[in-house]
Structure 1
Amino acid sequence: MRYVPHHPVFRILKADADEMSEHYARTLSPAKVEPLGGGQRISVEDRHYSAGPFSIWAGMCHSGMKVTFSQPSDAFVLYLPHSSVMEIDVGRKRLLSTPGTAMVGNMAHFERLTIHENRGHIGIAFDKSAMVGQLSQLLDAPVLGDIGLCATVETDSAIGSRLAALGSLLWDCFDGPGGNRVSTTATTHLFQAAMVMILETLPHNYSARLHKPMSPAMPRNLKRAIEYMVANIAEPMSVADIAREAGTSVRALQTAFQQFKDTTPLNYLRQMRLEGVRKTLCDDANTLSIAQVARAWGFTHMGRFSAVYHDAFGQTPSETLKLHSRRGIGIAPSSSPDANR
């Protein structure tokens, strides 16, 4: 069994703004860093651990600084502050992260962080691919759009207290005494539990679909349409073909899919094909190449297939195959340095 590394990977004391900007560009996302106040030096202390698509850190920004991102970061972040204030500019909104208030956000939407003097927090980051993959599992369907997640929650509330407790537990798993090591498998499950808790309890643009009540029984023509799609999943088909085999009109079929599946017939077909590819790539018994798997599920244009697969799951087909292979043989994800966020 592999264990998570137990050594900090980031510490900067009294760096200038250019050094901090270079550090962010190298480890997180291109950004311009400026000190707050009249000083030119920035003092940051941080202990930071990475485990595959997840990372966790805790530290203190003694002098304060402003971080303006020039490119989006493909990660979601949970901040659990214990001192001072951080302001997050998201479009026209400005969110405050203060002690007693947890904050979760899609960093792709962050424009600027203003970190005030003596700011301290635990931070947890989830790669976009991990969050998209977790949401697709909860929905039992590919996630084809951006996840609009940016919310605050009081840590004395039921939801906030659970998130804070889970964050503290994760931190203890990484930053405890050297003899009390915790396996990568255990910490991965804890990170996944945090993602599920965030997605199920905090508001975002997929919340309604997650909490949508069970639909009434599907009409017979819709069942026939889906059965035809499944039976001929690799064959080219149009909406007219599907409607004809289901014994209904194109308009009636489109209405049924919109009412009961919240999508169009062809989008539903594509979702089934994408899920089929992903499950096959994650199957230990699979011996086919990515192109062969894609063709077996009805994709004929490899470039277009790779693009829609990445949009659906936040990772390329080869990344899915690689990540599953590494997990399947029990190899822990490698660690990589990262910056205080």
Structure 2
Amino acid sequence: MSHQSGTVFQGSDPDELAAVLSTPRSPIVVEPLGKGPLAFHGEFFSAGPVTFGHCAYEGDIRCKRLAGGQRLLVFLPLDGDALFEVGGNELHSTPGRATIVDGARNTHGRLYGNRRHLTAFIDNDRLTALLTSLIERPVGDNLDFRPHLDLGAGAGLTLMQLVETAYRGLQGSAPLRRAPLALGALGDAIAHLLLEAVPHRYSDELARPPALPAPRHVKWAIEFMQAHLSDPITIADIAVAARVSVRTLQEGFRRFRTTTPMAYLQELRLAAVHRELTDGPPTVTVADVALRWGFTHLGRFAAEYKKRFGQLPSQTLRNGSDVGR
């Protein structure tokens, strides 16, 4: 969708609701629970990497996500109950606390009675890009956020206020529709608030004091890695490019990147594999991509990939291929 584009929906047909909630990558099936009446209405606004919305439902329904997406789903309940099933766990969503769901995991939801909620759906790529800039090293998009946040005070109350401001500022001819820079800053403020206030996989690392500026030889080493990601380079090659000894290079990465040079190189290569599996043509295979980026032991590669991205490389490839269908 284009910047600040909007979708208004209203009706009683489950298939129509499924079409509104689905994306090409992450289709959703909607099923009524019982024989009671069903009605729904709402509005979504896509603002670059963040989509804001307000949804209202009458009746009991089940929403089944058929494939994982690439967004973090933040639900801010106003009325009514919902239950989300994520990775075998149930998350009860009620007014007073946000429910945070990783859309990359196949999520089923059940809505009961009269349910209203605000939403903020944030692209995982944007979250990982912001986090990478904060901790100055590549990170995976399996951030593993704590699923609930109190909306009555502190960061939760601020989150509710920011999402309300964004949603209201996009309705009709409201001013945010004509202020893309302000809207982008508001979206980033919400993303930063989640990263800094909600516990997740990298919270401890984010809470550490900022690293000292990296010396030139560490920057030269990283530039050399990025320029030769698919080449069979060694730590000695990197040290030569950085104009220091291997020992000095290792100490520089330990002090300024809290890792080793080869581990940093592997992080960069895993990110490259992820991009290619996500965006590549349907004819590509996991083995071809892994070998192209220097991963020769496919079993070990698959385990490292899942640890970082929360899914097997074959799942990323399948979900990415679904986009073009």
Taking structure 2 as the reference length, what is the TM-score of the superposition?
0.69
Contact 2:170 2:176 in 1 (8 A): no
The match for 2:27 is 30
**CA distance in 1 between partners of 2:216 and 2:20 (Å):** 57
1:1-12 aligned at under 5 Å gives the runs 4=4, 9-12=7-10
From 161, 168, 174, the equivalent of 2:170 is 174
From 79, 83, 95, the equivalent of 1:83 is 79
Q: Secondary structure at the match of 2:7?
A: coil
From 206, 212, 222, the equivalent of 1:210 is 206
Q: Deviations over 1:295-318 (max 9, x none)?
A: xxxxxx99649xxxxx999xxxxx
Letter in 2 for 1:83: D
**CA distance in 2 between partners of 1:172 and 1:19 (Å):** 25
The match for 2:104 is 108
Contact 2:3 2:47 in 1 (8 A): no
Contact 1:225 1:242 in 2 (8 A): no
Contact 2:218 2:253 in 1 (8 A): no
Instruction: Note the C-alpha offset of 1:60.
Output: 0.7
Contact 1:224 1:246 in 2 (8 A): no
The match for 1:121 is 117
Contact 1:32 1:69 in 2 (8 A): yes
The match for 1:318 is none
**CA distance in 2 between partners of 1:123 and 1:59 (Å):** 8
Mean CA deviation greater in 69-78 or 132-141? 132-141
User: Would you say how many aligned residue pairs link Structure 1 and Structure 2?
Assistant: 272
Instruction: Note the C-alpha offset of 1:141.
Output: 2.5
CA 1:179 to 1:273, structure 2 compared with 1: closer, same or farther past 3 Å? closer
Contact 1:104 1:149 in 2 (8 A): yes
| Correspondence 1:154 to 2:154 | no
Instruction: Note the C-alpha offset of 1:101.
Output: 0.7
Contact 1:49 1:56 in 2 (8 A): yes
Instruction: Note the C-alpha offset of 1:157.
Output: 2.2
**CA distance in 2 between partners of 1:3 and 1:226 (Å):** 38
Letter in 2 for 1:261: R
Contact 2:4 2:47 in 1 (8 A): yes
Letter in 1 for 2:8: F
Instruction: Note the C-alpha offset of 1:25.
Output: 4.2
**CA distance in 1 between partners of 2:219 and 2:185 (Å):** 35
Q: Which has the higher contact order (CA 8 A, sep 6+)?
A: 1
The match for 1:226 is 218
Instruction: Note the C-alpha offset of 1:12.
Output: 2.9
Q: Secondary structure at the match of 1:11?
A: strand
1:205-284 aligned at under 5 Å gives the runs 205-214=201-210, 226=218, 229=221, 234=227, 237-242=233-238, 246-247=244-245, 257=253, 261-269=257-265
| Correspondence 1:58 to 2:58 | no
**CA distance in 2 between partners of 1:231 and 1:93 (Å):** 42
Q: Secondary structure at the match of 2:170?
A: helix
The match for 1:323 is none
CA 1:36 to 1:141, structure 2 compared with 1: closer, same or farther past 3 Å? same
Instruction: Note the C-alpha offset of 1:81.
Output: 1.1
RMSD: 3.8
Instruction: Note the C-alpha offset of 1:148.
Output: 1.6
**Percent identity between the two aligned chains:** 25
CA 1:124 to 1:263, structure 2 compared with 1: closer, same or farther past 3 Å? same
From 64, 67, 92, the equivalent of 1:71 is 67
Instruction: Note the C-alpha offset of 1:163.
Output: 0.6
Larger radius of gyration: 1
**CA distance in 2 between partners of 1:216 and 1:186 (Å):** 31
**CA distance in 1 between partners of 2:39 and 2:25 (Å):** 18
Contact 2:80 2:115 in 1 (8 A): yes
**Structure 1: 5+ residue runs without aligned partners?**
276-300, 306-310, 314-341
Instruction: Note the C-alpha offset of 1:33.
Output: 1.6
**CA distance in 2 between partners of 1:68 and 1:35 (Å):** 11
